[in-house]
Amino acid sequence: MISDSPKIGLFIPCYVDQFYPQVGVASLELLEKLGCKVSYPMGQTCCGQPLANSGYERDTAGATRHFIELFKDFDYVVAPSGSCVLHVKEHVPAIPGLENEQAKLHHKVFELTEFITDVLKVEKIEGKFPHRVGFHSSCHGQRGLRLSSSSELNQNPFNKAKKLLENLEGLEWVELSRTDECCGFGGTFSVTEEALSVRMGKDRLEDHAQHQTEILTGGDMSCIMHLQGIATRNKQPLKFLHIAEILNQAIS
């Protein structure tokens, strides 16, 4: 736990704000339960990731400047999304006049689970969640932020989300056939390559179904929105929760 109670800014991705407010609430409550002083600076906008990944990084200067100005005075910035965190760290244009703030901010932005394991140094979370949980590793979290080991590399296996979930009483962790294959969301890829995107999503869902996943969770609602969209359309009886929602429910 951090001793001198640093100021933590909650960075809520735009689609979470608009479509999944409960994930924002869960993230906020979870951090508070873990003893953090968290505030949510008003006036947050999209970080610009859809534009940058579509080849228009140069047009995200406005969004980037806005982000830096909103968050520069926080000690840490935490977001329930590996993908948006990767974007604001790696894929933003340099903002003239804010170079120092930008450089400092780079080291202060964390995805929620890595903030809990690496900054708060939480070794395990006590709580109860008696369900069979399948975890979807978002690629930007996994291979971008290295939140878990990747199956391609010869390294000791680790998974920051699993570390937080595995001690919850009653939780059964689902081992998948393909532990870290992409779900096919990929931002604008989901519409520009619609057929592939949906095929990839179906394949991921099949893997979860074959291993009797009851609740599919992950660190990125964008992947989950895509998977849930397919599952709902096909009336697959699968529940979807962000990892913040599971941890927040489990602790209470």
- The distance in angstroms from the start CA to the end CA of the chain is 19
Distance CA(232)–CA(235), nearest Å, equals 5
| CB closer to other proteins, 150 vs 249 | 150
* Cα dihedral 192/88/44/251 (nearest 10): 100
3 state DSSP class of 229: helix
Q: Residue 215 pairs with which residues in a beta bridge?
A: 133, 239
CB 41, CB 71: distance < 8 Å: yes
Q: List binders of other proteins among 78-107 (CB under 8 A).
A: 91
Q: Which stretch binds other proteins (CB under 8 A): 104-112, 127-135, 159-167, 227-235?
A: 227-235
Q: Which of 33, 39, 245 lies closest to 122 in space, CA to CA?
A: 33
| CB closer to other proteins, 146 vs 163 | 146
55 contacts other proteins (rule: CB under 8 A): yes
Q: In the chain, what's the furthest Cα-to-Cα distance? A: 53
Q: Which stretch binds other proteins (CB under 8 A): 96-104, 128-136, 142-150, 159-167?
A: 142-150
236 contacts other proteins (rule: CB under 8 A): no
Q: Tell me how far, at minimum, the Cβ of 189 lies from other proteins, in Å.
A: 5
Q: Tell me how far, at minimum, the Cβ of 197 lies from other proteins, in Å.
A: 8
Tell the residue number behind the tokens 């209470």, with chain if given.
252
* Cα dihedral 138/140/143/147 (nearest 10): -70
Three-state SS for 99-116 is: HHHHHHHHCCEEEHHHHH
Q: Tell me how far, at minimum, the Cβ of 151 lies from other proteins, in Å.
A: 6
Of 2, 33, 34, 50, the residue at the interface with other proteins (CB under 8 A) is 50
Q: Residue 10 pairs with which residues in a beta bridge?
A: 78
Q: Which stretch binds other proteins (CB under 8 A): 44-52, 98-106, 112-120, 164-172?
A: 44-52
189 contacts other proteins (rule: CB under 8 A): yes
| CB closer to other proteins, 164 vs 230 | 230
Tell the residue number behind the tokens 């939480």, with chain if given.
122
Distance CA(148)–CA(3), nearest Å, equals 27
Q: Which stretch binds other proteins (CB under 8 A): 98-106, 114-122, 166-174, 199-207?
A: 199-207
Q: Tell me how far, at minimum, the Cβ of 249 lies from other proteins, in Å.
A: 17
219 contacts other proteins (rule: CB under 8 A): no
228 contacts other proteins (rule: CB under 8 A): yes
19 contacts other proteins (rule: CB under 8 A): yes
Of 35, 56, 94, 169, the residue at the interface with other proteins (CB under 8 A) is 56
178 contacts other proteins (rule: CB under 8 A): yes
